[in-house]
């Protein structure tokens, strides 16, 4: 089944900087953002391996986020674990619209959990 998203406008878009990891709160959820080659990407705040804070990691030259704890690498584009440990970093779709940047959060239960 296709994923369904609710789209949220990012009000602090100017805080998302090239090659940095910036944490913003969207819908009471902390999400990491970066800009890589001009494009905005969004991904989970915590590492899928052992909960490392991705915001303390770095973006490498190939556009991967490197976790600060054990240095596993994940593509910011799709969460692919390119260092090969078999984990998957959650990523979120972003979309540039006329009135600004939006992020899509998956719709979950009917109560929005």
Beta strand residue intervals within the chain, DSSP E = 5-9, 22-26, 29-36, 39-44, 58-59, 64-66, 73-75, 91-92, 94-97, 100-106
Q: Which is nearer to ligand FES, 36 or 72 (CB)?
A: 72
Using CB under 6 A as the criterion, what x/- string covers residues 6-45 for binding ligand FES?
A: ----------------------------------------
79 binds ligand FES (CB under 6 A): no
Residue in this structure with the two tokens 């190939």, named with its chain if needed: 62
Residue 52: closest CA among 73, 35, 37, 34: 73
Q: Out of 31, 52, 65, 103, which residue is the one contacting ligand FES (CB under 6 A)?
A: 52
Hunting for tokens 């939006």 — which residue is that?
102
Residue 105 interacts with ligand FES (CB under 6 A): yes or no: no
Q: Give the residue, chosen from 11, 17, 20, 50, that forms a contact with ligand FES under the rule CB under 6 A.
A: 50
Whether 92 contacts 31, CB under 8 Å: yes
Which residues lie near ligand FES (CB under 6 A)?
A: 47, 49-52, 67, 69-70, 72
């Amino acid at each position: 089944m296709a994923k369904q998203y609710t789209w949220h406008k990012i009000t602090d878009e100017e805080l998302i900087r090239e090659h940095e990891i910036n944490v913003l709160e969207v819908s009471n959820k902390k999400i990491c953002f970066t800009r890589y080659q001009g494009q905005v990407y969004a991904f989970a705040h915590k590492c899928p391996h052992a909960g490392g804070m991705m915001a303390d990691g770095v973006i490498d030259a190939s556009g991967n986020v490197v976790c600060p704890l054990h240095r596993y690498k994940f593509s910011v584009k799709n969460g692919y674990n390119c260092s090969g440990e078999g984990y998957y970093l959650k990523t979120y779709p972003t979309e540039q619209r006329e009135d600004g940047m939006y992020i899509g959060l998956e719709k979950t239960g009917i109560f929005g959990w």
